[in-house]
Amino acid sequence: MILEQQRKIDPKQDSIMVAQGVKRTFGKGHNAVHALKNVNLNIPRGCLVALKGRSGSGKTTLLNVLGTLDQPTEGNVFFQNNNISNLSDKERTNLRRKDIGLIFQSFALTPYMTALENVEFALRIAGIPSKEHLKLAEEALSLVGLKKRMKHRPYELSGGEQQRVAIARCIAQQPALILADEPTAELDSKMGFQIIQLFKKCIQDTGMTIVLTTHDPDVMELVDYLYELEDGEIVQSNQNAID
């Protein structure tokens, strides 16, 4: 067991992402909510990393900050050794289009597009050459077990199937880093296990890094690193490969 807060974090070591002294406060004065109090985090490149913690501990807030959907009140986030805490809106959008993939439960699919078109559209936005769209989209949808449902629109799919389209949409682009908020929450345990295995395969094949939040002890067993958030701080980190 390694206590992350005792470790000196060097943004130059082979970490794809480093958070240093990250705070995020919502509101002011008496109504202020200190969602992140002092987060120091080191995401090793090419690993599957899980964030766990009770409801309200700050997991989604942290993913939002790491994924540049939100900015820290204080502190810095480095992605591939570049400080991304104070980028312009345009720079943040570009980063999310190409380098950091997000799988968030609230990220709705485009309702009038089929599963296949949703994935192809994301590839177009990411600037991937159009001749590759169909093949990449079909491959990604097959990988998440939706080969037979590619021509269906979101409203014709279950919550878990929609979640898998969102996962396919993200992995098809092969970003360097994927941040996923409870990607297995809508899935039964068998499908959840398959998605984690799929994430591991993507990591093995492409060297990408995946950070997810979870409440599922089975998922925690399968990841390379596990961080625990409590009341806006990382209280524990655990490297499964070593322990």
Ligand X SMILES: Nc1ncnc2c1ncn2[C@@H]1O[C@H](COP(=O)(O)OP(=O)(O)OP(=O)(O)O)[C@@H](O)[C@H]1O
Q: Shortest approach of ligand X to residue 155 CB, angstroms?
A: 25
Q: Shortest approach of ligand X to residue 31 CB, angstroms?
A: 9
Stretches 27-35, 148-156, 185-193, 219-227: which one binds ligand X (CB under 6 A)? 27-35
Span between the terminal Cα atoms of the chain, in Å: 7
User: Which of 107, 223, 96 lies closest to 167, judged by CA?
Assistant: 107
Q: Shortest approach of ligand X to residue 152 CB, angstroms?
A: 28
DSSP labels for 5-60?
GGSPP-TTSSEEEEEEEEEEEES-GGG-EEEEEEEEEEEETT-EEEEE--TTSSHH
User: Is residue 33 at the binding interface for ligand X, with CB under 6 A as the rule?
Assistant: yes
Cα gap 157→146, rounded to integer Å: 10
In this complex, which beta carbon is closest to ligand X, that of residue 6 or of residue 31?
31
Q: In terms of DSSP H, where are the helices of the chain?
A: 59-66, 89-98, 115-125, 133-143, 159-171, 189-206, 217-222
In this complex, which beta carbon is closest to ligand X, that of residue 99 or of residue 230?
230
Residue among 19, 35, 109, 170 that touches ligand X (CB under 6 A): 35
In this complex, which beta carbon is closest to ligand X, that of residue 70 or of residue 120?
70
**Residues 46 to 105: which contact ligand X by CB under 6 A?**
53, 55-61
Q: Which residue in the block uniquely carries the two structure tokens 């961080």?
A: 227
Cα gap 227→166, rounded to integer Å: 24
Q: Shortest approach of ligand X to residue 4 CB, angstroms?
A: 17
In this complex, which beta carbon is closest to ligand X, that of residue 61 or of residue 173?
61
Cα gap 142→150, rounded to integer Å: 9
Q: Are 238 and 2 in contact (CB under 8 A)?
A: yes
Q: Shortest approach of ligand X to residue 196 CB, angstroms?
A: 18
Task: Kindly tell me the sign of the dihedral angle through the C-alpha atoms of 35, 94, 153, 162.
Answer: negative
Q: Shortest approach of ligand X to residue 67 CB, angstroms?
A: 13
Cα gap 233→39, rounded to integer Å: 5
Stretches 26-34, 109-117, 139-147, 170-178: which one binds ligand X (CB under 6 A)? 26-34
Q: Shortest approach of ligand X to residue 70 CB, angstroms?
A: 9
Number of residues that bind ligand X (CB under 6 A): 12
**Segment (H or E) for 23:** strand 15-26
In this complex, which beta carbon is closest to ligand X, that of residue 78 or of residue 104?
104
In this complex, which beta carbon is closest to ligand X, that of residue 35 or of residue 66?
35
- Phi, psi of 195, rounded to the nearest 5 degrees: -65, -40
In this complex, which beta carbon is closest to ligand X, that of residue 25 or of residue 240?
25
Q: Which residues bind ligand X (CB under 6 A)?
A: 26-27, 33, 35, 53, 55-61
